[in-house]
Structure 1
């Protein structure tokens, strides 16, 4: 059983850890798999997909639309969230065998990491809602959308998104300002614990209610955004079904409308995946406000719900490619240009030289043909007057 004694000058408390209780401070088998295999794979996959998406938008000029401007910032938020969240967990695992140990971060690291994670999280939630509203106006009110969908307007909206995310994240800073240190005394004469850390650091709020407030600030905007998106998802789907029915009745096919419908369906699917992946974590977090004792017994489940959040940040480019052929075309165009490299230039030069050679041959044949035709015509004329051509004539 853990025994708490009076803290030393460098620690808030001292803790004598028995051999039977030491296992509760260590990583379990499920946590090891999540931190060492699952999370790094998701990070690699997510970074490759989101960076690839940004590369496509930079390389393919016809992809630089207002909608993709919003999706660009969503990809940036996903990259920021994945990089910081996964790397902090992997580094913590490499530095300390204790699952909750944040001593390597210090109070500055705790505040910075949580602030950046909160900014990227709130930005993702607001951007998903902004994209849904943009698609609603494009689908249900296309004339109004064409009139107001401009690049300056999109820039203003994105600036407001990041500003609101920063403000909301700043309200949560008190939830990580208390850095609590614990001096640990491990069982003697057990070789396993010889290199275990003697000090463990924990990030806490200034008071118990601060943690509940932070959970509420995370969950309430998410719940509001989910309700707003559900309402507009239903309107978009109803409008798309109505358009398809009218087109079938009239036998009219509009390519631009077809493209718009595909993009709308793609973003509805993307939004549904977003809220399905984040809902378990938010529901679990919100439940801890009413049942605080559940926090200690559901640590593994909390990690699993976090993995779903990470998956959401990694799958967006896959959703774009699977659900929309225009995005597949753009990806293929961007990476085929890049990967062709020198071989593409050699092929282009070869074809150019070959075309020039063929053109010269054609010109030569044309000249020969003209000369032959002129000669035949001249012979025919002289034969008709009964005279032979002379070498020189005036």
Structure 2
């Protein structure tokens, strides 16, 4: 995964990336809105889970980690936005490494937690009778720990190679990945190959295969059951999968494409700016999608709104007692 910011630093003067970077600067204005929206959504999800749900359930442990990973990822975007608009890194060497590491940590953990939530949803729906023996607090904690460990490994490269340097061509400080220190050409080649295949397999093929398989099994199970709201559930599942494909896949495909000459590098840079923003939007929306598609969370949200604005009570219907909802979710996860 390429570091967000200015594209193709080695070809800045030779390949004419000014127009590409100008486009990135304009699009980066969206980063501030994404961050604010993600922050508000995260706070809302946390408030609802804290007030109405048990923090120790499997579903809520996974949701809390997804919310945290999305917030970690989004917290890097305002810094990237400022960098792209000022054409200079003004936050110092330490923040250069930290922000890029946070970006990688949030990105990779968000993808893996989305995949983990899909797998957990699959267990709860398809294996509803056997799942409780597996889906316990220990399973959730261990799963989350594995995801954070794998995601932390993705931070090693930016923490080591990302650095601050003075670009003499534009006389401004740049936060970019410098040449691999004291490494031979062969070693650098193998490192780049390893990065490519890790990105391809772990953050593209693996999540897509898991999501497709799990959602197919969920859809078949729900349609063959006697759940009253089965068609609505399947429709919601289809929307989540469709958004995942539309928002996340193009960015990864473009990122993995090779670019040998100047023209190809320019086209790839343009495509990366556009698809990157689309992918960011999904990460921004994912915690809300995975919570408010369920009737329970919708009802909790209505209760908060009615309590805050009593005059809306006549326009919003909500159940103050969620025991009915709790009984109805014994065979399905509480986010369906």
TM-score (norm 1): 0.63
2:50 is matched with which residue: 47, 53, 58? Answer: 58
SS at match of 1:92: helix
- CA distance in structure 2 between the aligned counterparts of 1:26 and 1:137, rounded to whole angstroms: 45
Task: Tell me, yes or no, if the aligned pair for 1:129 and 1:228 is still in contact at 8 Å.
Answer: yes
C-alpha offsets along residues 336-367 of structure 1, whole Å, 9 cap, x if unaligned? 44x259xx9xxxxxxxxxxxxxxxxxxxxxxx
Q: Describe the shift of the 1:318–1:154 C-alpha distance in structure 2 as closer, same or farther (beyond 3 A).
A: closer
- What aligned pairs does 1:16-55 form with structure 2 within 5 A after superposition? 24=18, 27-28=21-22, 30-36=23-29, 38-55=30-47
C-alpha offsets along residues 272-317 of structure 1, whole Å, 9 cap, x if unaligned? 42343121111111003x6464333433321111111210122225
Structure 1 residue 233 corresponds to structure 2 residue 215: yes
Task: Tell me, yes or no, if the aligned pair for 1:205 and 1:211 is still in contact at 8 Å.
Answer: no
2:257 is matched with which residue: 278, 284, 287? Answer: 287
RMSD: 3.4
- CA distance in structure 2 between the aligned counterparts of 1:70 and 1:272, rounded to whole angstroms: 22
Equivalent residue number for residue 167 of structure 2: 182
Q: For residue 270 of structure 1, report the CA deviation from its aligned partner.
A: 3.0
Task: Tell me, yes or no, if the aligned pair for 2:28 and 2:81 is still in contact at 8 Å.
Answer: yes
Q: For residue 202 of structure 1, report the CA deviation from its aligned partner.
A: 4.5
Q: For residue 128 of structure 1, report the CA deviation from its aligned partner.
A: 1.5
Equivalent residue number for residue 81 of structure 1: 73
SS at match of 2:168: strand
Q: For residue 332 of structure 1, report the CA deviation from its aligned partner.
A: 1.6
- What aligned pairs does 1:136-285 form with structure 2 within 5 A after superposition? 136-171=122-157, 173-174=159-160, 176-177=161-162, 179-184=164-169, 198-207=171-180, 209=189, 210=191, 213-222=194-203, 223-243=205-225, 247=226, 257=227, 266=236, 269-285=239-255
Equivalent residue number for residue 392 of structure 1: none
SS at match of 2:32: helix
Equivalent residue number for residue 327 of structure 1: 297
Q: For residue 141 of structure 1, report the CA deviation from its aligned partner.
A: 1.1
SS at match of 2:18: coil
- CA distance in structure 2 between the aligned counterparts of 1:170 and 1:41, rounded to whole angstroms: 29
Task: Tell me, yes or no, if the aligned pair for 1:135 and 1:264 is still in contact at 8 Å.
Answer: no
- Gaps (5+ residues) in structure 1? 1-16, 185-196, 248-256, 345-394
- CA distance in structure 1 between the aligned counterparts of 2:83 and 2:148, rounded to whole angstroms: 28
Q: Which has the larger radius of gyration?
A: 1
Q: Describe the shift of the 1:148–1:26 C-alpha distance in structure 2 as closer, same or farther (beyond 3 A).
A: closer
SS at match of 2:81: helix
- CA distance in structure 2 between the aligned counterparts of 1:203 and 1:262, rounded to whole angstroms: 47
Q: Describe the shift of the 1:267–1:120 C-alpha distance in structure 2 as closer, same or farther (beyond 3 A).
A: farther
- CA distance in structure 2 between the aligned counterparts of 1:270 and 1:64, rounded to whole angstroms: 25
Q: For residue 178 of structure 1, report the CA deviation from its aligned partner.
A: 5.1
Task: Tell me, yes or no, if the aligned pair for 2:251 and 2:276 is still in contact at 8 Å.
Answer: yes
Q: For residue 241 of structure 1, report the CA deviation from its aligned partner.
A: 1.7
Instruction: Report how many residues are paired.
Output: 290
SS at match of 1:181: strand
